[in-house]
Amino acid sequence: MRRIGVLAAMVVLVGLLVWAGVYNLRQRRAAMQRAQIVLVKDGTNPPATSGSGSNDASVFGGESLKGKIAPGFTLVDLSGKKVSLADFKGHPVVINFWATYCGPCRLEMPWFQEFSGKYQPQGLIVLGVDQDEDMPRDQVAEGAKKTGVSYPILMPDKSIAKSYALGDYLPQTFYVDKNGTVVEESVGTPSKDEVEANIRKAVGL
């Protein structure tokens, strides 16, 4: 009987350990979706902040473009083809500035991939603008491939960071409606729900 009691106690203990491990994993995944993480463009990490992403670029040193017409640009994609913002006139557009070293960027890019399909009937276009300094296109392509995205990835020129008044933090995202107006912007990685809410605002839902 004593052996049965010890065995039963061990089974209960193992069960509790398994349950605790599963619970902890779920909590970490939930926290990852809720957390906002910002990263300095040079690859150094400032203190992370939690909660929703900031929708005010001026907080991070940039000038807010909300309510203004999105600056036009013509950039080269990973295949060498020229892509202009004007090509998507009449479409809602998400312009996401990212870099291969940026962990928070890699977290949210699959969300943009998912929503580009979900809101395709509304004409949504997602553009990723790389911000790696002097990185060859093939290395940028490899970094984008690892995130699993298939939307266009564009190489930057000297002027786009200035025209979009980018601060020192990535990712930075602009949500543009079909009239070309920036209806929302974010610095850092907000939650997935907030990303979708911003997209819905851009597509007019």
**Residues annotated as part of the active site:** 105
135-163 core/surface letters (b: 16 or more CB in 10 A; e: else)? beeeebbebbeebebebbbbbbeeebbee
The answer to whether 119 and 152 are in contact (CB under 8 A) is no
Structure tokens at 42: 């040079």
The amino acid at residue 13 is L
CA–CA separation, 121 and 130 (whole Å): 26
Q: Is-contact 70 97, C-beta < 8 A?
A: no
CB distance 55 to 186 below 8 Å: yes
